[in-house]
Structure 1
Amino acid sequence: MPVLFTAYVAQSLGVVVEGVTLGFGPVLLTRKNWVLRAIPMNSSVRFKVTDSMPLLTAHEKKGALDVQPAWVQLLVSVSIPACLLAIACVLLGVDALRYFASGFAQLVSGALAPFTSAQTYLASYHAALADQSFGFVLGLTAAKMAAFHLLPFSSVGGFQLVMTVVQAFNARALTFPRTERLAVWLTLLLIASWALAAFVYVVSPS
């Protein structure tokens, strides 16, 4: 799982991992800072951060992601999409790079046009489910998800990449919480638009 790879990368670089959640829905198992939920999707990693606790001492800030050098934050940010892209390349070879590159435009254009462009993309994915092997579909999904995780939206690597670059130039006025709120809204709008597109695709006559 990419989220496990991210937790491993972060800990290897000295970042404190405060919690790992695998899946969502009802809790099946809890062990220390690990939570296993019923539905195996939407896993996440929670890192130690200091943004909400600015008066901490240097010792208390040790291991927080946001006090690490920029290169550490960048590596942690790209670990999930890098893992997904690696999986796609193993399954699809160099074609994975083409599917990954096209994923950015497809995710955005599909969200902007849920009744037209998104329907075309969903039809193509549906055809792949019917005609291609499980390995191909898994690789295609991993490539597209790698692209999604690099979009500058909240809760995915792309947002953290943007914040890391912004902070490197000391532009704190553009960081939290204003930028995060905007990113959250963009994420919700993108997901809602694709959910609408999927609903329309499922209920529409074949």
Structure 2
Amino acid sequence: MDHVAQFNREVRAFEAVARRATSSGGAPLVPSCPGWSVADLVIHLGAVHRHVHAVVRDRLPGLPDPGDLAVLGLPADIGDWPHPDRAPNTGPVPPAVLDWFAEGASLLGARFAADAVTQVFEVMAPARRSWTQAPPGTGERYLFRQTDGPGTWAVCFDGDDVRLTGGSAGAVELAGTASDLLLHLWRRLPADRLDVRGDRALLDRYFTLVPPV
């Protein structure tokens, strides 16, 4: 299963349902969460996403301090937001609450995907080469650039080695969201869905050097 894609599908579906449920001016109760309304569930899940994002981003050994409100990325004015201590909150839900939820989910999805791109080059590409007896590299250099975050991966194939070089150039460059880059590296998204610059013949050689399994 592509966990990042599944996460993105689930949060988009949840957001759509939450927006519909609160569009009439109130927040209905959630039968499967006794004592909670849709607003309370949105706040809870949004906070979970922000905390997990901080754990992954900062390589924390556990969850951040619950008192560290900066982790939540809240706007300056939350006076009319549902308050967790007053659940169930069944009153009107400001649109900014759902926008905040969507932003936090997007940040987390992009961070899971970016980490997974690194894992492809550090773990899976060498493994796939070993499993399939792929040909040795001859100095092929690729640059993968994330468009929805700061990620950049310069990859060089040298003999049996796959190296992240830390550079900023390659004979071919692929740019896209972290999720799209990851899908391409697993051969689930064609290169023409990305911004490709440079030697396309070298691009075609990538899956000879890292064969699908």
> Structure 1 length as normaliser, TM-score?
0.26
Higher helix share: 1
State which structure, 1 or 2, has the greater radius of gyration over its C-alpha atoms.
2
Normalising by structure 2, we get a TM-score of 0.25
